[in-house]
Structure 1
Amino acid sequence: MAITSRDVARLAGVSQPTVSRALRDDPRVSEATKAKVRAAAEQLGYVPSEAGRALSSGRTRRIGLLITDIENQFYTHIIAPVHLQLERLGYQLMLHTETADNDTIVERLIANGLDGVILATTTVDSVVPLRLRDHGLPFVYFNRTTSFVDADATVVEPTAGFEAAVSRAVALGHTRIGAVLGPSNTSTAQSREVALRAALATNGLSLSPDDIRRGPFDTRTGDEATTSLLSQPSPPTLLFCANDVVAYGALNAASRRGVSVPGDLSIVGFDDLPAASWPIIELSTIAYDLTAMAGEAARLITRRIEQPDASVLHVEYETSFVERRTLSSAPLSD
C-alpha cells in the first residue's frame, strides 16, 4: 500500500493539511514543525503526488513566466532565480515564450492550466494584463509594468544610479553626453530616460536631440545607434545605454570604427549583467539586485494565488553606479 500524507501526519503528530503546507515550505508553518514533517516523510519514504495536490487543492501549482522578447540576453538571467524560489514554495516554473504580444497569448496561458503568471516583457500598451484580470488568472509584473491594471510588481528605481553615474561623468569632464534609449512603449525605457534627464539637469546639462537614438533592448540597437552617433562631426564623449545588452552593441560599433573605449568614447550600461564584469568587457553600469528581484516576483505570485484578497505590493529595487574600465576622463578637445 502506498504511503500517504495521512501516514506522515500520524507519525509527525500533526494534521494532514499541516503536512501539505510544511512540505511546500509555507511560511505559516514553524521551522520546527517543518523539520518534524520532513523527517517523518523521509522515514516513511513519502513522495508528494503533484496530481494529488492538484485534485485536492484545485491548483496545478504551475506558474508561467511569459517572455515575448525571447532573444534578449537579459531574460536568461532571471529564469534560474525564479525557478529556485518557486521550487522552494512548492510550485513549478513553466516558461512561455512568444514573439509578439498577440491575441492568442492569454488563451494559451489559460489552456496550460496555470495557477498564475509572471509578466516579464509587458509593454505599456499591452492588453494581456486586462485579459488576465478578466479571466481571473493571477499575475504579477516583473521589471516592466503598465498603467492599465494595477497589480503586484517588482521594479527598478533608477534615480540613485543615474545621479551617481552622471555626477561621476561630470567630475571626469564630460559635457557632450549622448544616449541610446530603449523603446518608448516600455515603462523601463520611460523611467530610465526621466531619471537620466533629471540627473543631467541637476548638473546643468541636457541631452541634445542630435545625440539621442532609440530602439529595442538589443545589441543591434546599440551597434547601429553608436555607429550613427560616431558619424557626426562632433560626437558625444559619453554614451548612456538603455541596458547592458545595448551597451555591448555600442562597444562592438566603437571597436569596428577604431574608436578607443574609454579613450575616445566612454560607455555606461544598465542592469550589471554577469558579463559586464568580465575582464574582456569591464562595463561601467547601473546596478541593482536582479537575482533578488526575480525571486521576489516568484514570491509575489504565490502570495497572490494563496491570498487573493491581499493588498497590492509594488517592490522597488534601488540602483547604484558601478564604475569599471569603460568610463574615463573626457578626451581633450583639439
Structure 2
Amino acid sequence: MAITSHDVARLAGVSQPTVSRALRDDPRVSRATREKVRRAAALLEYVPSEAGRTLSTRATRRVGVIVTDLTNPFYPHVVAPLHDELERLGYRMMLVTERSDEAVAEERLLDQSLDGVVLATATTDSRLPALLERRGTPHVFLNRDTGRPGDFASVVDNEGGGRLVARELVPLGHRRFAGVFGAANTTTGRARELGFRLALADAGIGLPEDRVARGPFAYETGYEALPALLAAADPPTAVFCGNDVVAIGVLNAALAAGVKVPDDLTVVGFDDLPMAAWEVFRLTTVRHGLGELARQAARLLVRRIGGEVDRAGERLVLPTEFVPRATHAPAR
C-alpha cells in the first residue's frame, strides 16, 4: 500500500493539513514542527504527490524553457546550470525545443500547466513574449531579450564586450577590420556589433558594410562569410565574430584558404565556451559567466512567479572580460 500524508501525520503526531503545509515550508508552521514532519516523511520514504500539491496550491512547480537552437553548443552550457538552480529552488524544468518561437504550440505553454517560462532564444520580432504577458504567464529572458523597456532578463554586457575587442586590437596596429555578427533580429548580435563600431569610431576607424556579414550564430555563418571578406581588394587583418561558434567557422575557413591565424589574420570570438580553450582552437574571445547567466535567470523567474519583482521590469547584466589566447596578434 502506498504511503500517504495521513501516515506521515500519524507518525509525526500532527494533522494531515499540517503535513502539507510543513512540506511546502509554510511559515505558519514552526521550524521544529517542519523538521519533525520531514523526519517522519523520510522514515516512511514518503514522496508528496505533485498532482495533489497542484490542486491545493494552484502551482505546478514546473517551468518551461524555450530553446529554438539546441544544435548551438552555447545552449547546453546554460541549460544545465539553469536546470540545477531551478531544482534547488523547488521547480522542475521542461525543455521545449521547437524550431522557432512561432512553432511553440500555445497549449503547451499557456494552458496553466507551467508556473513560468524562460525564453532563451528570443528575437526582437517574436510574438511569444507579448502572448505570455497577455496570458499572465511569468517569464524571463535568458541571454537575449527584446530590447524593449519592461523586460525581465538575465543578459551580458554585449555592447561593452564589443568595445573591449576593438580597444584590444587597435593598439596592435589593426586598421582593416571585418565583422561576422549575429542575426540582425537578435539583441546580442546588435549590441556586440554596436559596441565594436563605437570603439572603432572612437579611434577614428570605420567599419564599411562590405566588410560585414550577419547571420545565425552558427559555424556555417563564419565558414561561408570569410572567403568573400578575404576576396576584397583590401582584405581585413582582423575579424570580430558574433560568438565562438561563428569564430570557429572563420578559423576553419582560414585554414582551408591557406590563411595563417594569427600571422595573417586575427580572429576573436565571444562567450568563451569551454571548447574555445581547447588546444586545437585556443581562441581569443570575450568571457562572461555562462553558469551565473543561467542561475540568475532562474532566480529572477522564481521571484517573478512569487510576485517579488517590480512591474517595470528588471535586467540583470553580467560583465565581460577579454581573454587573450592564440588567435590574435599585431597587424603585419
In 2, the alpha carbon distance for the partners of 1:28 and 1:268 equals 55
Question: Any residues of structure 2 matched to 1:37-186 within 5 Å, and which?
Answer: 38-102=38-102, 105-111=105-111, 113-147=113-147, 150-186=150-186
Contact residue 8 and residue 19 of structure 1 kept, 8 A: no
Which stretch shows the higher mean deviation, 236-245 or 128-137? 128-137
TM-score (norm. length: structure 1): 0.88
Change (3 A) 1:308 1:137: farther
State the shift of 1:309 in Å.
6.2
With 51-60 and 182-191 compared, the bigger mean Cα shift is at: 51-60
Aligned to 2:315: 314
| Counterpart Cα distance in 2 of 1:222 and 1:161 | 19
* 1:121-150 CA-partner distances (Å, limit 9, x unpaired): 111111111111111211111111115672
Q: Residue 258 of structure 2 aligns to a residue in which SS?
A: coil
CA distance in 1, matches of 2:238, 2:174: 7
Deviations 1:202-238 (CA, angstroms, capped at 9, x unpaired)? 2222212221111111111101111211122321011
Alignment of 1:21 with 2:58, yes or no, is no
| More deviation, 138-147/88-97 | 138-147
- SS at structure 2 position matched to 1:74: coil
Corresponding residue number in structure 2 for 1:305: 305
Give the length in aligned residue pairs: 327
Alpha carbons 2:143, 2:155 under 8 Å: kept: yes
Is the CA contact (8 Å cut-off) linking 2:161 and 2:192 kept in structure 1? no
Q: Which residue is equivalent to 1:232?
A: 232
**Aligned residues of 2:162 and 2:194 also touching (Cα < 8 A):** no
Distance 1:89 1:213, change over 3 A: same
Deviation at 1:76, TM superposition (A): 1.7
Using the size of structure 2 for normalisation, the TM-score is 0.89
Letter in 1 for 2:106: V
Aligned to 1:256: 256
The 1:88–1:222 alpha-carbon spacing in structure 2 relative to 1, beyond 3 Å, is: same
Letter in 2 for 1:227: P
Contact 1:217 1:243 in 2 (8 A): yes
Structure 1 range deviating more: 57-66 or 160-169: 160-169
Partner SS for 2:114: coil
- Secondary structure in structure 1 of the residue aligned to 2:74: helix
1:182–1:55 Cα change, 3 Å: same
Gaps of 5+ in 2: none
State the one-letter code of the partner of 1:169: L
Identical pairs, percent? 46
- Range that drifts further, 285-294 or 300-309: 300-309
Does the 8 A contact of 2:266 with 2:328 survive in 1? Answer: yes
Please give the alpha-carbon distance, in whole angstroms, between the structure 1 residues aligned to 2:92 and 2:259: 47
Q: Cα deviation per residue 1:158-207 (whole Å; 9 max; x = unaligned)?
A: 24433332222122211111100111111111111111111112222221
Native 8 Å contact 2:268 2:285 kept in 1: yes
Q: Which one-letter code corresponds to 2:184 in the other structure?
A: S
Q: CA RMSD in A?
A: 2.8
- Partners of 1:60 and 1:136 in 2: CA distance: 15
**What displacement does 1:105 show?**
3.4
1:189-208 → structure 2 map (5 Å cutoff): 189-208=189-208
Equivalent residue, structure 1, for 2:284: 284
